[in-house]
Structures are given as C-alpha cells and as structure tokens.
Amino acid sequence: MDYDFSGPQSGPMETFESLVRAEFAPKNTYLNTASSGLLPARTVEAMRTAVESAAAGRPTDMFADVEAARASFARLTGIPVSRVAAGASVAVYTGLIAASLPEGAEVLTAEADFSSVVNPFHMREDLKVRAVPLEGIAESVRPGTALVAVSAAQSADGRVADLPAIRAAAREHGARTYVDASQAAGWLDLDADAHDYVSAVAFKWLFCPRGVAFLAVPEDLGGLTPLFAGWVAGERPWDSCYGPVTELAHSARRFDESPALFSYAGARRSLELLEHLGVDAVRTHDLALADRFRAGLDALGHEAVPAPGSPIVSVPGLGHRQEELSSAGIEVSDRAGNLRAAFHLYNTPADVDRLLDVLSR
C-alpha cells in the first residue's frame, strides 16, 4: 500500500515505501524492533557529522538537537512541549516518580510488566505495590490507590493496555496514571495528554540511538522533586553551572538528565522522519504485517498470544528456535520461551513470508 504525503520538509510527493527504502537498508530480515530499532540513514549521518565536528574542535550545537527532539516527541504524542523532560532512562524517571509518593501509598501495576516501570516502586519498602493481570487493571483501581503504573504495550508479548479505561478508573478514585510507552510510541495512537506521567525510551519504535528517553509530566509538574537536577535543569542553564541552581526551569525541563548529546543529534533526525511519515501510516503498515504473520501461524498450527492491535507477536513454545532463525539471517527474540517478532516500518510482506517459511521446516 502506498501513502502520499507532504509536509514541512517534503518537497516533491513521495510514497511511504520509497522514503523508507531510502532511509533503511538492513542486510538481514530484522524483526526485532521490540528490542532495538534500526537507525535511518539521516540519523547515522547526523551522528557522524557531530562526532567528526567535535573531533575537529568545531562542535555543533547539539543542545539545539535536544530541543528539536523534545518538540518532535511532544507533537508525536499530542502533548505540550512544556510537559516534556529529556533524559536517557525510563528506570530513572520511574524512580523519580516513586520518590514523590508518600509513605504507605498504593501503586497498582500489571503482573510481569517490564522491570523499568515497576522495580523502582519495589525499592521503596514503605510503598504498597500491588500487581494484577493486565486485563484487570481498570477494575482493580480502588479508593486509596495513589498511582497506576503500566506499559502501554507489554514487552514480553505485545498485549496493549486499555488505557482509556485505566484513566477513567483512576480519575474516579483520585489516582494518577503513569504509562511507559517504550513499546508503543511510534506506532500506537497514544493520547499522552490524558495521562499524568508518560515515559518512553526512544531506541525502539522511535528508531533513535540509545541514550534518548522522554518523560511527560502534568502541567503542575506533578508534585515531583527534581532530585537529580544539575545545571541543565536551570531556567538559564549557562547561568546555573556553579553552586546550587537558584532558579529551576519553569517547565518539565527541570527534570532533564544531562543529555547524551551525540545520541540526541541523531534522535532529532529520526523523530523528524517519523513525523514526516506519520504515525497513522506507520501503524497501518505495522499491523498489516503482524496480522499477516498471525494468519500464517494459524496455517502452521501455531497460536500466538492474543494481542489484537499490536505489531508485537509472541508465540509460545517457539522461543528455542531463535538461534536457528538468527543463523538463517532472521532476527527475532526469545522471551520466556516465546518467540517474539516485532514488525515495523522497514519490514515487508517478504520478511513475514521468510519467517513463516523457516518456521514451517
């Protein structure tokens, strides 16, 4: 399917496929975006330029890249840029949220969710952390629940949380919501503005370099204390280099980690590309491939973990074939004995068919 689009950087009309093929050229059948996404050519070139410029003593303004990446993430997720902090780690941001909770607060989580979104709460022994099945989170919110923390899409098997229902239940009981969108930002129709906190690493579906992550906080800054604030968290960073920061940024930038600048030099270009292509077009492409794989699995007598509307497909009992598939030039993951395939914009129907062909042998 072709998608015509034009945008701020588009110039002549291009198709979705032609632009993707110009940016990505994997040498294998790469179906492992849930672990790490591929880098576009423009991103690689931007990082190379930044590194070479720094080596020559003429560094580029990579702090401008941080701000451009922050703005792109805000537009892609539908939130004001003033709500977005830039950093490197979901676990760090989860820890920041955990530190803000009062003693005895209840945190509701999904069973077997990714450790970065749940473990920091367990590190505080004075919190009450309760885990329930993903499908039962909304009905499990109760009076006294302070925070609901959940991944938008589960890393292990791709199941998508019912975020509108979770948000409605949280509002009914006066709880805040914290969504880890690491396995969703870039393809899911994510209404980040409906939630109190949203975090995401960018090296998966946003196909950025490692070292880039974002945190969205409420407009009132969510009662968070910027415990790790350094000079970059100042309202005027270059005037905040020595001694205590006398004026923190008035926006979510007060929660910035000192940025991995070379990574952000590339991230800016990756996020520009995603904006240019459009999340809706990417989602349509990704889900069509995942559905093709599920249909092929059915024909082979295999049943995937039910995860409608997800580009992540997890197949019980086939994880042991991961090494065989890798030897055949097909990259997937083995997660808890399940074979996990993840389909993204640079994949094609031929990739799906090749995976099915090897699995059928």
Residue count of the chain: 361
- Beta strands 213-216; 197-201: pairing state: antiparallel
pLDDT at 161: 98
Read off φ and ψ for residue 303, nearest 5 degrees: -120, 120
pLDDT at 152: 98
From-to residues of CATH 3.40.640.10 in the chain: 62-275
Superfamily of domain 4-40+277-359: Aspartate Aminotransferase, domain 1 (3.90.1150.10)
From-to residues of CATH 3.90.1150.10 in the chain: 4-40+277-359
Q: How far apart are CA 265 and CA 66, in angstroms?
A: 7
DSSP single-letter state for residue 34: T
Q: How far apart are CA 310 and CA 187, in angstroms?
A: 9
pTM: predicted TM-score of the whole model, two decimal places: 0.93
Architecture of the domain whose range is 62-275: 3-Layer(aba) Sandwich (3.40)
- Do residues 49 and 60 touch, judged by C-beta distance below 8 A? yes
pLDDT at 118: 98
Which of these, 185, 187, 191, lies nearest to 90 by C-alpha position? 185
- Residue 92: Cβ within 10 Å count: 18
Kindly state the tokens that stand for 175.
Answer: 């709880």
Q: For the chain, which ranges sit under pLDDT 50?
A: 1-13
- Do residues 77 and 181 touch, judged by C-beta distance below 8 A? yes
pLDDT at 37: 98
